[in-house]
Structure 1
Amino acid sequence: MKNGFFILENKDDGLFMTIRPAVEGGKQVKVEDVYKYLDNGNVTKYSHANVKKAVEELSVTDTAVTFQLTPKPLDIDIDEQAYVSIATDRMSATVVFYPPTPNGKKMTTQGLIKDILNYKIKFGIDEEFLAGLCIEHEYFTDYVFARGIPLVEGKPAKITYHFNTKPTKKPTINPDGTVDYRKLDNISRVNKGQLIAELQPEVQGSNGKDILGNILKCTVEKHLVLKGDKNCEMTEDGLKMYSKVDGHAKLVSGVVNLSNVYEVKNNVDNSTGDIEYSGNVYIKGNVNSGFSIKAKGDVIVDGVVEGADITCGGQIVLKRGIQGMGSGVIRARGNVVAKFIENARVISGGFIETESIIQSNVSATGDINVGGKKGFITGGTVAAGKGVRAKMIGSPMGVHTNIEVGVSPLKRERYKEIKNDILIKTKDIDKLYPILASFWKKIGNGDLISPQQHDYIKKISATVKQLEKIIKQEKEEAEEIEAEITSGQSATVEVSGTVYPDVDINISGAFFKTKAERSYCKFKITDGVVKVENL
């Protein structure tokens, strides 16, 4: 590979230039290269058109082209020239040497370095290489004389968990509309000795530097560590985590929690007494009236729950439902899934999934879905933050039924109180800031401050900090309520079958009472009024 080049020659009838083509993939001569060479040699009165024509002809013929630059010979001496170019990424620089005329001067190392410094190249210059080039080099050839240090990006740390960190917790709906409460993706079970998690540590990169001296900063990768509770066993290098128990795994705020499950093979009755457990509880029989279960994890009951009290920090699954007898209470921070709910109080921090609700007081932060073959709500009060869906609401006998969705009026009132309190406290702070500013100005001026003034300013500072803390907390609470209000406006009541008369529907404070049967309809709020539309 050899680049194209050109030479000058004086003849009797003028100054001539010969341009030779590149070979084997080298760079062709450009018109700009010729112009620059002649201008630097103080050759100004020449035919630009002839230069352009020759270069264009060269690209077609691929053979040397000789043409007249000036009609008369020129008594000139052009010194050897070196042209510097910087790569677009500023990570390298090249120099190309152009030949002198027979009496022209050779390029010196000092002259070359001076030219290079004009390009503000400060880093990565190989001065020894440049000195050698000035002694020996080929013309019209690119020589890389400066290189930067490339930026090396690192690799972020990665944790791989070998259990389901986001279980769906919803039952399987069969093709015939029935709900299979046995197939629940709700517990990530683990075995003793099982690999739970693996850590791939971060690899930090290294900064680079371009030839202009600019630092190229790499991203600082975040350091991660495996975190687990007492039931987790870590390898010495901290890269792998194993289970020390047979049980289940949960990921809570980046910490792996492993817990074995408390299992009752028969009923919860006099033989077991009340149950209180820090993990999950699995009851294979019934839960009799008068007994209670308290669990920090999930509660699963294969049988029927009677007038019992069940409270848990996870979800509750009642495969055969609850016949509360007016005294049964279910409280779950998570979801509640039950075959049926009758004469009971059910409170869910998530959604509720069941096939029927009869004369019960039921509430959920999320949705309440009453489906399956039956899918009816009759009597009592059913309240959901997001929406209620059922096949039938009320009864042909006109049993009074309450349905509430969206944000409650009490929550809206609380929101107004918070916003007003934030406004009052902000005004109080605005009154105190000038006092603090005046004090610090006096300190800056060197004025004497009495002990009483010091104490007074301390009290004001403490008051401001306390007010700011309260305002921050109230703003966070207000944001949460705002989110609930926004979602509450879109809450709906959907009936895929029939809604009967004497059903009260409350959507975020707007009321509607059914006076006639309606089928396949949806209740929603529009401009503050509950409207009904067909599904």
Structure 2
Amino acid sequence: MDNEERLLERTAETTEASDGYYQIILSDSGVFLTVFPPQGNGSPVREHVILLDLEKRAIKGFDLPVIVRTVREASGLPVRIAPPPPLSAEPEIQVLVGRDRMEATLQIIAPKGSRPVTMDEVLEKIKQVGVTYGLDHAAIQRAFAHPGLKVVCARGLWPTDGQDAYIKYYVDLENKGKPAELEDGRVDFKNLNMFTIVREGDLLAEKVPPTPGTPGIDVLGQPVPPKPGKDILPPLGKNVQMIDNGKIVATMSGQLIITNNKLNVVPVIEINGDVDLSTGNIDFVGNIIVRGSVQAGFLVKAEGDVEVAGTVSGGTVEGKNVCVRMGVQGMNRGYIKATENVVAKFIENATVYAGSDVLVSDVILHSRISAGKRVVVEGRRGLIAGGRVLAGEEIRAKVTGTHLASNTDLGVGINPLLREEYQKLRMEIKKLEFTLEQTQKALGLLRAMDQATMPKDKHEMMLRLTKAQFHLVGQVETMRNRINEIEVAFEEMRHGKIRVRDTVYPGVKIIIGSLVKPIRETLSFVTFYAEDGEIKVGPYK
């Protein structure tokens, strides 16, 4: 509608903000009715109120069925109910309230030859419509001084939504099990940060509760409720509890670990000597500290971390993070396996698996190493010689191979453990999907039976199968998510690099993904990487 339109507006005869209301618009193209629905428990607009209004305005020729339908639908959209009325020389004051009631507009329409309006008439009109909050008197004055100018004459106050609950941690969980790195990128093996030890009563975290938010107010003076913040469950695991004001504390001294996103405090086993005949094998749910060495043929296994102050000589050690301060002498028996990192002074004639990094301060000799991310050998000698060293993303050393041209395989973009997990997951999903299909078929047969005459044992079977179905669907979804994570990791491995700070001797074989490059001459200060389907050699960086 153009600037020559004349607009009159009436609200329903209620003062409740939740009541419906209507507007009658008079324009050159006809008389239009807009009906807005009530909110909450408010009252709807009634037809007789509109008919009385039309009678007062002397509007003729309206379509009663259209009015009834428009009131019933209350769509908030203008509907033509009558032809345009004859022009009037009376000025009109138009006040419109937005659908969300957070804004109202004012426009004074003064046809040629009409009398001037007064400010009292303008304010009275605003009052009649019900606009009481957020009046912009400067804007009202502008509209009064300039007939035809449409202004926003009132604005509501928007509510402020509440803040979601969150957990504030008082312990450092990011660097756990990661040796500190020096400024030049080398590993500081004197500061291993292997364990997060807490004592009974220590403050671990705090649950900050959600806030309700701050209500707003619309231009009709009614409150606008905010969206309250969402609550969360506290991450309470074993041996922790929540006390006053949401504070989460340890109820015993021990090692802090996170399992399934929950805080747990588990005890630490300390062996004040060697793991040998005097101790037997050790398999523990928490963390293990061995003050001596692990002797040949013995097993140390932990769901948490393992720290060995001495050596591992032909023994087997498994844990989340494994630190062997004096080194690993594999003796071609036993192995070291960590779901995260392995840290050692040296590794010789050993088999080592790490889900993340293998960090060695001196040498790796004639060993089989597999790391999900990095193998770093950067100590006094920083040597990798003999054997096969594989990493998902990077191998870094000072010297690789020997002047005697000993066979040494270095490979990146390869993670056997991850590949094995990937294949197992795919096979397991196939089995679960077959079981799920059989379960759904059985449920379909049971549901097709007459429920009223179905025996009790069939009802119980249907309940068991329904629960099993939901469990199977959840298992499949979890496995598919893990497969997606592994595929992302495989993609990142394509950019793997092998960096050697000092010397690469002949006899070394460089492997990046499916590409192979034998080294036939001595190289220094180099980086090997894959590009355009071949292994290239660049400067060390």
Q: Does the TM-score normalized on the shorter chain lie above 0.5?
A: yes
* 1:7-86 superposed matches below 5 A: 84=95
1:433-452 matched pairs, under 5 angstroms:
none
Residue 256 of structure 1 aligns with an amino acid whose one-letter code is L
Q: Secondary structure at the match of 1:485?
A: helix
Are 1:344 and 2:350 counterparts? yes
**Deviation digits for residues 280-316 of structure 1 (CA, Å, limit 9, x no counterpart):** 111122222221111110011111111111111x101
- Structure 2 counterpart of 1:528, from 516, 523, 533: 533
- Give the deviation of 1:329 after TM superposition: 1.0
Q: Percent identity?
A: 32
Structure of greater Rg: 1
Which of 259, 269, 278 is the equivalent residue of 1:271?
A: 278
Q: Matched residues in 2 for 1:282 and 1:231: separation?
A: 20
On the 8 A contact 1:177/1:373 being kept in 2, the answer is no
* Residue 364 (str. 1) matches residue 371 (str. 2): yes
CA 1:524–1:214: 2 relative to 1, 3 Å: farther
- Given candidates 307, 319, 334, the residue that maps to 2:314 is 307
Task: State the SS of the aligned residue for 1:482.
Answer: helix
Q: Distance in 2 between matches of 1:154 and 1:343?
A: 60
Could you tell me how far apart the structure 2 residues matched to 1:343 and 1:110 are?
A: 98
1:456-477 per-residue CA deviation (whole Å, 9 max, x = no partner) reads xx9xxx9x99999999678646
Residue 190 (structure 2) aligned to one of 175, 182, 188? 182
TM-aligned CA distance change 1:161 to 1:506, over 3 Å: same
Distance 2:209 2:264 in 1: 21
1:214–1:384: structure 2 CA closer, same or farther, 3 Å change rule? Answer: farther
313, 320, 330: which is aligned to 2:326? 320
Q: Is the 8 A contact 1:391 1:497 kept in 2?
A: yes
One-letter code aligned to 1:341: I
Residue 178 of structure 1 contacts residue 373 of structure 1 at CA under 8 Å; is this kept in 2? no
Determine whether 1:221 maps to 2:229. yes
Change (3 A) 1:175 1:528: closer
Contact 1:177-1:372 within 8 A present in 2 as well: no
Secondary structure of the residue that 1:183 maps to in structure 2? coil
State yes or no: 1:251 paired with 2:258: yes
Q: Which secondary structure state, in structure 2, belongs to the residue aligned with residue 360 of structure 1?
A: strand
Contact 1:125/1:147 (8 A) holds in 2: no
CA separation of 1:515 and 1:271: change in aligned 2, threshold 3 A? same
Q: 1:290 to 1:495 in 2, by over 3 A?
A: same
Question: Partner of 1:487 in structure 2?
Answer: 492
Residue type of the alignment partner of 2:499: E
Sort the Cα spacing of 1:350 and 1:380 in 2 relative to 1 into closer, same or farther, 3 A: same
Q: CA RMSD in A?
A: 5.6
Tell me what 1:9 maps to: none
Alignment size in residue pairs: 437
TM-score, normalised relative to structure 1? 0.64
Q: 2:178 aligns with which of 170, 173, 178?
A: 170
Matches of 2:95 and 2:250, distance apart in 1: 64
Amino acid at match of 2:282: I
8 Å Cα contact 1:250-1:256 kept in structure 2: yes
Q: Deviations over 1:406-458 (max 9, x none)?
A: 136998899899999999xx9xxxxxxxxxxxxxxxxxxxxxxxxxxxxxxx9
Residues 79 and 107, structure 1, Cα contact 8 Å, conserved in 2: no
Deviates more, 1:483-492 or 1:83-92: 83-92
The equivalent position to 1:384 in structure 2, one of 391, 398, 401, is 391
Question: Is the Cα–Cα contact under 8 Å of residues 388 and 405 in structure 1 kept in the other structure?
Answer: yes
Q: Which residue of 1 aligns with 2:513?
A: 508
Shift of 1:401: 1.1
Aligned 8 A contact 2:321 2:341 in 1: yes
Which amino acid in the other structure matches residue 213 of structure 2? G
Please give the alpha-carbon distance, in whole angstroms, between the structure 1 residues aligned to 2:242 and 2:424: 50
Partner of 2:289: 282
| More displaced 10-residue stretch of structure 1: 317-326 or 243-252 | 243-252
Residue number in structure 2 paired with 1:19: none
List gaps (5 residues or longer) in structure 2.
4-88, 136-143, 146-151, 434-461
- Residues in 2 aligned to 1:410 and 1:260: alpha-carbon distance in whole angstroms: 29
Q: Secondary structure at the match of 1:483?
A: helix
Cα distance in structure 1, aligned partners of 2:103 and 2:405: 86
1:269 positional shift: 2.0
Q: Which amino acid aligns with 2:330?
A: G
Residue aligning to 1:333: 339
Work out whether residues 384 and 404 of structure 1, in 8 Å CA contact, stay in contact via their aligned partners in 2: yes
